[in-house]
C-alpha cells in the first residue's frame, strides 16, 4: 500500500531529518523540502552544498523510512499511522 500525501507530511514532520531508501537501494538522508501528490523533494548534504533530489513515491521503499528523533537522539523507523 502506498502512503497518502498526509502520511508523507506526517513522516516529514516526525523528526529533525529523514532517511529514505529507493527501490534500487540508494539511501538519501536529509530534509524533506516539498511534497506533491506524486513525489517529494529531499535536500541532502550540508549547507550551501546541499543537493536536491525529487523522488517519486512509486520509487521509494516504503518499508525503509526513518527519521531522527531529537528527543530520543536516535534514528527511528517510521510507522504509518493508519496501519
Strands in 18-22's sheet, in edge-to-edge order, are 51-56, 39-44, 27-35, 18-22, 60-69, 74-77
Q: What is the pLDDT of residue 66?
A: 98
The residues spanned by each domain of the chain are 5-77
Burial class (CB in 10 A: 0-12, 13-18, 19+), 20: buried
What pLDDT score was predicted for residue 1?
Answer: 61
Block mean pLDDT (10 aa), the chain, length 83 = 89 95 97 96 84 96 95 93 63
CATH 3.40.50.720 for domain 5-77:
no
Amino acid at each position: 500500500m502506498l502512503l497518502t500525501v498526509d502520511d508523507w507530511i506526517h513522516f516529514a514532520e516526525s523528526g529533525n531529518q529523514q532517511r529514505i531508501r529507493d527501490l534500487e537501494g540508494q539511501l538519501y538522508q536529509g530534509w524533506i523540502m516539498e511534497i506533491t501528490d506524486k513525489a517529494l523533494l529531499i535536500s541532502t548534504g550540508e549547507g550551501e552544498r546541499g543537493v536536491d533530489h525529487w523522488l517519486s513515491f512509486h520509487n521509494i521503499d516504503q518499508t525503509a523510512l526513518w527519521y531522527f528523533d531529537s528527543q530520543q537522539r536516535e534514528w527511528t523507523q517510521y510507522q504509518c499511522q493508519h496501519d
